[in-house]
Structure 1
Amino acid sequence: MRRRNFGVALLAAAIVIPGAATQAAERYGIGRAATPAEIAGWDIDIGRDGANLPPGSGSVARGRIVFGEQCASCHGDSGQGGVGDRLVGGQGTLASPKPIRTIGSYWPYASTLFDYVRRAMPQNAPQSLSNEDVYAVSAYLLSLNGIVPDNAVLDARSLGAIKMPNRDGFVADPRPDVHNH
């Protein structure tokens, strides 16, 4: 078990610390430095302002289809929840004794929705959706929450410009290592 944990730690270091694999290879005779292409494959985060959103676009209509095929079995036919979390509704409940935290009531940035769907959904096949399908599912979910119209088509520019209802509902973190202003 210890040997397996060491291998996982070494792989993580190779991805996170560029020189670590080279040092490990010299010291232990194993591993190699990650290539820029390998690092780029993992560097898919999206900024809250939409920075790093990929090319592509998707419509609410297409999102309805993709959601039905890829998401509804866990999240319900219209995002009402099921095995997976509820995604729709809850506006105005955050200050209540039973807040309903959904995309439309809680999430501060639309870009976070895109990032999460692209990175982690569907749960049985994460990162399997095309950028166009992720834009479409994002458009559909934002439409269900009343944030964009039913005929919306989202791309990097329009998704990054969406002001979510709870954007100002979070408190700034004063720690110097957290950049959230």
Structure 2
Amino acid sequence: MFLHKLFLQIALASCLVTPVLAEEFGRPARPDEIELWDIDVRPDGKGLPEGSGTVAQGKAIFEDNCSGCHGTRGQDGIKDRLVGGQGTLASENPIKTVGSFWPYATTLFDYIHRAMPYQAPGSLGVDDTYAVAAYLLSLNGILPMDGKLDKQSLPKVQMPNRNGFVPVPEFDYPQSHHN
């Protein structure tokens, strides 16, 4: 009961903080600070940074950073399977992978860059991210083994399930907006 009463008193006291006092905490973010967090990449490629990576580079980076969860070749790991599954989406047991389900290769870059590797999200550099994306696309038969990705080539990659989604008009990016 004592803790409940104390909590209630603290909650009530916090309501008495005036707006003037609240303004003393924090400040508007500066443009250079916002830019550090503005790393999202759209399906049309807008937001992709300069840089590049090859399948060969991606293989080594994947082995060092990703294979512990996803297996040595993007399957048979303890986490999501990333390779295979083409042609299974309409079956009783669909296998949703990068190669069978994802509609845009640019969102693969975005996800890897922001959220992977699991143990250190966002720690891969831009070139390393392009390389891992190239390696995964290669393992899925979408990019040749000697393939290379960059800001210009990644949006042009045609994913096998590209037309498997119904676009929402406000997210349908015309071709003229590609970087």
In the superposition, the TM-score normalised over structure 1's length comes to 0.82
* Correspondence list, 1:39-50, <5 A: 39-50=34-45
Residue in structure 2 matching 1:68, options 63, 69, 80: 63
2:96 is equivalent to residue 101 of structure 1: yes
Quote the offset at 1:83 in angstroms. Answer: 1.9
Quote the offset at 1:33 in angstroms. Answer: 0.8
Unpaired segments ≥5 residues, structure 2: 1-6, 11-17, 174-179
Please name the residue that 1:133 is paired with.
128
Residue in structure 2 matching 1:146, options 119, 141, 152: 141
- Determine the C-alpha separation between the residues in 2 that align with 1:113 and 1:122: 13
Higher relative contact order (CA 8 A, sep 6+): 2
Name the larger-Rg structure: 2
Please name the residue that 1:114 is paired with.
109
- Determine the C-alpha separation between the residues in 2 that align with 1:148 and 1:37: 35
Q: Which amino acid aligns with 1:90?
A: G
- Are the equivalent residues in 2 in contact too, given 1:25–1:31 (CA < 8 A)? no
> Size of the alignment, in residue pairs?
158
SS across alignment from 2:152:
helix
Percent identity for Structure 1 against Structure 2: 56
Residue in structure 2 matching 1:179, options 160, 171, 175: 171
- Are the equivalent residues in 2 in contact too, given 1:25–1:32 (CA < 8 A)? no
SS across alignment from 1:169:
coil
- Determine the C-alpha separation between the residues in 2 that align with 1:50 and 1:179: 13
Please name the residue that 1:7 is paired with.
none
- Are the equivalent residues in 2 in contact too, given 1:89–1:100 (CA < 8 A)? yes
Q: Which amino acid aligns with 2:149?
A: L
Please name the residue that 1:18 is paired with.
none
In the superposition, the TM-score normalised over structure 2's length comes to 0.83
Deviations 1:60-98 (A, max 9, x none): 000000000000000000000422200000000000111
SS across alignment from 1:74:
helix
Residue in structure 2 matching 1:164, options 159, 162, 165: 159
